Amino acid sequence: MNMRTPALGLLLTVAFFAQAATHAPHWGYGGEHGPQKWGDMEADFATCKLGKLQSPIDIRGATKSALPALDIQYAKSSADVVNNGHTIQVNLADGGVLNLDGVPYKLVQFHFHAPSEEKIDGKANSMVIHLVHQNADKKLAVVAVLLTEGKGNVALDSVFKNMPQHEGGKKKLGASFNAADLLPAERGYFRYVGSLTTPPCSEGVRWQVLKQPVEVSKAQVAAFRKLYSMNARPVQPSNDRKIEEN
């Protein structure tokens, strides 16, 4: 997951998961531009190697807690599908909110990683959706939806059929895309505090990783991986941080 603020409002906001700024150093997922090199690329990326609350993590030994049910209030919205050079990202004009401890976090965008960045007991899924939210104080929260191969995903059809094939490409969806259709029926989740999973790897991000995967077809996975065969940061040390589950 990655950030910055569209006409300096939404564009930079969503760029934190896409790093669209042209002045930023080139980073990627392999070789001399891969994750192990991010922290040395520029001073603003130093948290990628120095941070102690980095994401993703391998979720193990979570503490059973009386966590509240996730208060997700997504709504129909217009949407743009963007190829930002690191993933396929869907920017939402007014996609609704996630309420955490009574504070609304607006759904700004969602994007994909293959395979899933987070692991559960050492196991990764075929892909993951990161739904990115921001509150009035610019604090971030992410809901992660794991994707596993199975039947075709109707909710993602319009996105996968409109993925721009080249970096910088953008396609508009209709005004009725509802991110609620991406969520599994069961909303049990893991919770921890982590970071963006792309440079600048900023910390303090509130993560909610849903336990129940959602199915996507083998063809849908292949369509994404044709563009991005691997765009997952390796898991980071948990450093004894608190991981809760309901």
* Confidence at residue 9, expressed as pLDDT on a 0 to 100 scale: 39
What is the domain range of residue 22?
Answer: 10-245
Q: Note the pLDDT tens digit of each residue in 107-148.
A: 999 999 999 999 999 999 999 999 999 999 999 999 999 999
Residue 15 has pLDDT above 50, yes or no: no
CA dihedral 206, 210, 215, 220 (to 10 degrees): 10
DSSP state of 161: T
Cα separation, 39 vs 35, whole angstroms: 8
Looking at residue 218, its amino acid is K
Residue 25 has pLDDT above 90, yes or no: no
82 in a domain, yes or no? yes
169 in a domain, yes or no? yes
2 in a domain, yes or no? no
What's the Rg (C-alpha) of the chain? Answer: 17
Give the residue among 64, 138, 144 at the shortest CA–CA distance from 103: 138
How does DSSP assign 86-101, residue by residue?
SSEEEEESS-EEEEET
Residue 232 has pLDDT above 60, yes or no: yes
Would you call 174 helix, strand, or coil by DSSP? coil
1 in a domain, yes or no? no
218 in a domain, yes or no? yes
3 in a domain, yes or no? no
Which pair of structure tokens corresponds to residue 200?
Answer: 């600048």
38-67 residues labelled b (16+ CB within 10 A) or e (exposed): bbebeeebbbbeebebbbbbbbeebeeeee
4 in a domain, yes or no? no
Q: Do the Cβ atoms of 148 and 126 come closer than 8 Å? A: yes
State the first-to-last Cα distance of the chain, in angstroms, to the nearest integer. Answer: 23
25 in a domain, yes or no? yes
Lowest mean pLDDT among 15-29, 78-92, 131-145: 15-29
With cut-offs at 50, 70 and 90, classify the pLDDT of residue 2: low
Q: Note the pLDDT tens digit of each residue in 150-169.
A: 999 999 999 999 999 999 99
Give the residue among 21, 59, 57 at the shortest CA–CA distance from 41: 21
CA dihedral 203, 199, 82, 159 (to 10 degrees): -60
By DSSP bridging, strand 103-113 and strand 177-178 are unpaired
For residue 74, give the CATH number of its domain: 3.10.200.10
With cut-offs at 50, 70 and 90, classify the pLDDT of residue 174: confident
By DSSP bridging, strand 58-59 and strand 127-134 are unpaired
Task: Calculate mean pLDDT across residues 171-198.
Answer: 96
* Confidence at residue 6, expressed as pLDDT on a 0 to 100 scale: 38
Active-site residues, by number, are: 86
Q: Do the Cβ atoms of 128 and 211 come closer than 8 Å? A: no
How many independent structural domains does the chain possess?
Answer: 1
Q: Do the Cβ atoms of 159 and 224 come closer than 8 Å? A: no
Please, is 132 exposed, middle or buried when counting C-beta atoms within 10 Å of its C-beta (0-12, 13-18, 19+)?
A: buried
Looking at residue 90, its amino acid is V
